[in-house]
């Protein structure tokens, strides 16, 4: 029994055409672009930008976004080719199954759990932070932070988190919406996308007048930069390679890469697209281009309004509102941005939960996961049991794990998926060169190879406990594969 047995293209295309038994095809190109923007603009822009600028890239975080965008563009072109060929739920997992075999498909499916499930957990934690800011800090620290987080208040009393209840609340609401239906979820998402993009544009337009050119010089953090003060009173050094210069830009790219993970979530909705061969490439690449332009402008304004060192000591999750309060003095704009961010985070969580449930749906349909993950609701035709189980799993992370840990693991899962999708395009071009390709990745194998190089470089920059945690996660996945999935696969001979 081969570990690299593949699903035939004929069976995949037959499944894509079977719209009677499967998921409803209700999404057009506009909905797919909105879906992508809904997933992309969120925690990465409003939270990770300040983290990357303050700790590693400084004003050159704009370059970090460009590096991350280039890596995404190469991978996005590869995703677009696969999505036009194989219009079925499952994203990179399905593509790997058709090109590199079952074991690689399982590995990528397991990595996608890091991307979508932990991505949803990370953003729900950020949602909780912003809700508390909007409410003026009325939620006690203990009930909106994980047990691994603590803070020293003005009276020198230490408060330690117990559980993040607001994060659990938003996950529950959005899980119930997803159970109700994809079209309803897409409609809610489209409204939210309009609101948050409008607010991002307002921040860019208003903030441009408050840019202090001195904050952009030096553009790259020098190795001998003065240490920044951290919240606990200790000093943060910029001497390490990945904390200044081009090393800092690369590390910053790995951090803000989290801001781009949404575009590939579009590919998980391929089986619910009305005309996937045409609309999937438009949805994937269109959302990526729009968001990249907004990201570069946004990060330029944010680091121009406030010095990057401010984001080491202050701001943190509420960095945008902090910059507005401190340097622009527009209380109304800070409040408006916080409301928009809450709405924006909601759409990101929505798309991530949808993406993960669709990956589970496909893996279950292939026999690699228990049948419960592919059971459809008799009326709504959504994988409702998968949504319920996913809420419990994601909820545990959101309630008890700090956001920074989940965020970095999300980036590694995404980057690994991107690398394997780039490999898959090259493999399929050689094994099935005559296969009809409604959209073709240009300059193969150059574009996929460049995508692999950029993504691998960003993985290396996350070297340390994060990479070790991801390695342990993969070992757990392999134990499950050899203990259950390998023997229950529908391709078992």
pLDDT tens for 158-174 read 888 899 999 999 999 99
Residue 20, domain member (yes or no) = no
Calculate mean pLDDT across residues 77-89. Answer: 78
Residue 10 lies in a domain: no
pLDDT for 404 equals 65
Which range has the top average pLDDT, 152-156, 189-193, 370-374, 378-382?
A: 370-374
Residue-range definition of the domain harbouring residue 372: 26-488
* Cα angle, residue 72 at apex, residues 70 and 73 outer, rounded to 5°: 65
Distances (CA, A) of 329 to 207, 238, 305: 11, 30, 11
pLDDT greater than 60 at residue 464: yes
Residue 428: inside a domain = yes
Contact between residue 87 and residue 270 where contact means Cβ atoms under 8 Å apart: yes
Residue 464 vs residue 361, higher pLDDT = 361
Please state the length of the chain.
493
In this prediction, residue 315 carries a pLDDT of: 53
* Helix, strand or coil, per DSSP, at residue 332: helix
Q: Is residue 7 part of a domain?
A: no
Residues 144-157: what's their mean pLDDT?
79
How would residue 18 be classed by pLDDT, with cut points 50, 70 and 90?
A: low
| Helix or strand holding residue 10 (H, E) | helix 9-17
Residue 449 has pLDDT above 60, yes or no: yes
Share of the chain above pLDDT 70, in %: 90
| Euclidean distance between CA atoms 276 and 9, whole angstroms | 16
pLDDT band at 181 (very low <50, low <70, confident <90, very high): confident
- On the CB side of 4, CA atoms within 13 Å amount to 2
Low-confidence winner among 16-30, 223-237, 338-352 (lowest mean pLDDT) = 16-30
- Asked if residue 189 is part of any domain, the answer here is yes
What DSSP string runs through 335-347? HHHHHHHHHHHHH
* Whether the predicted pLDDT of 43 surpasses 80: no
CA nearest neighbour of 306 among 317, 297, 314, 295: 314
SS3 225: coil
**Is the per-residue pLDDT at 331 higher than 90?**
no
Q: Decide if 2 is inside a domain.
A: no
Check whether 44 has a pLDDT greater than 80. no
Give pLDDT, residue 326: 87
Alpha carbons 314 and 318: distance in angstroms, whole number: 9
CATH number of the structural domain spanning residue 220: 1.20.1740.10
Which of 12-26, 35-49, 283-297, 339-353 has the largest mean confidence? 283-297
Among the listed ranges 266-280, 348-362, 414-428, 460-474, which one has the minimum average pLDDT value? 266-280
Residue 108: predicted pLDDT: 85
CA-based nearest residue to 103, from 3, 253, 216: 3
Query: How many structural domains comprise the chain?
Result: 1
Per-residue pLDDT tens over the stretch 228-274? 877 767 888 898 888 888 999 988 888 887 777 767 767 767 667 77
Q: Which residue has the higher pLDDT, 304 or 461?
A: 304
């Amino acid at each position: 029994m081969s570990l690299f047995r593949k699903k035939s293209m004929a069976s995949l295309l037959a499944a894509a055409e079977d719209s009677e038994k499967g998921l409803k095809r209700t999404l057009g190109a506009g909905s797919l672009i909105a879906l992508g923007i809904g997933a992309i603009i969120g925690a990465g822009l409003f939270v990770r930008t300040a983290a990357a600028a303050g700790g590693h890239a400084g004003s050159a975080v704009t370059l970090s976004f460009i590096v991350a965008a280039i890596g995404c563009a190469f991978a996005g072109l590869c995703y677009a080719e696969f999505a036009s060929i194989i219009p079925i739920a499952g994203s990179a997992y399905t593509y790997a199954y058709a090109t590199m075999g079952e074991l690689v498909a399982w590995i990528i499916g397991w990595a996608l759990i890091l991307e979508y499930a932990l991505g949803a957990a990370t953003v729900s934690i950020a949602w909780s932070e912003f809700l508390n800011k909007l409410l003026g800090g009325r939620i006690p620290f203990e009930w909106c932070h994980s047990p691994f987080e603590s803070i020293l208040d003005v009276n020198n009393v230490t408060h330690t988190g117990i559980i993040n209840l607001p994060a659990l609340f938003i996950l529950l609401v959005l899980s119930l919406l997803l159970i109700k239906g994809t079209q309803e979820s897409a409609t809610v998402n489209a409204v939210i996308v309009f609101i948050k993009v409008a607010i991002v544009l307002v921040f860019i337009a208003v903030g441009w007048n408050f840019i202090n050119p001195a904050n952009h010089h030096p553009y790259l953090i020098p190795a001998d930069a003065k240490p920044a003060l951290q919240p606990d009173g200790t000093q943060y050094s910029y001497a390490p390679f990945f904390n200044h210069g081009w090393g800092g830009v690369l590390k910053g790219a790995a951090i803000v890469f989290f801001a781009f993970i949404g575009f590939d979530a579009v590919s998980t909705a391929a089986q619910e697209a009305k005309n996937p061969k045409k609309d999937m490439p438009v949805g994937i690449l269109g959302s990526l281009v729009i968001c990249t332009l907004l990201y570069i402008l946004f990060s330029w304004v944010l680091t121009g309004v406030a010095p990057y060192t401010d984001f080491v000591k202050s701001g943190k999750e509420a960095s945008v509102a902090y910059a507005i309060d401190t340097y622009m003095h527009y209380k109304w704009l800070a409040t408006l941005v916080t409301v928009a961010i809450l709405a924006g985070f909601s759409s990101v969580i929505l798309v991530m939960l949808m993406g993960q449930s669709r990956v589970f749906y496909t893996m279950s349909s292939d026999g690699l996961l228990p049948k419960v993950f592919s059971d459809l609701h008799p009326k709504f035709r959504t994988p409702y049991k998968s949504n319920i189980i996913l809420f419990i799993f994601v909820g545990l992370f959101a309630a008890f794990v700090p956001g920074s840990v989940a965020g970095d693991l999300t980036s590694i899962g995404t980057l690994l998926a991107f690398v394997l999708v780039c490999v898959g395009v090259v493999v399929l071009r050689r094994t099935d060169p005559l296969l009809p390709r409604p959209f073709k990745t240009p300059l193969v194998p150059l574009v996929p190879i460049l995508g692999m190089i950029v993504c691998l470089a960003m993985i290396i920059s996350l070297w340390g406990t994060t990479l070790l945690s991801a390695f342990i996660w993969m070992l757990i996945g392999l134990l499950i594969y050899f203990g259950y999935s390998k023997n229950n696969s529908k391709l078992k001979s």
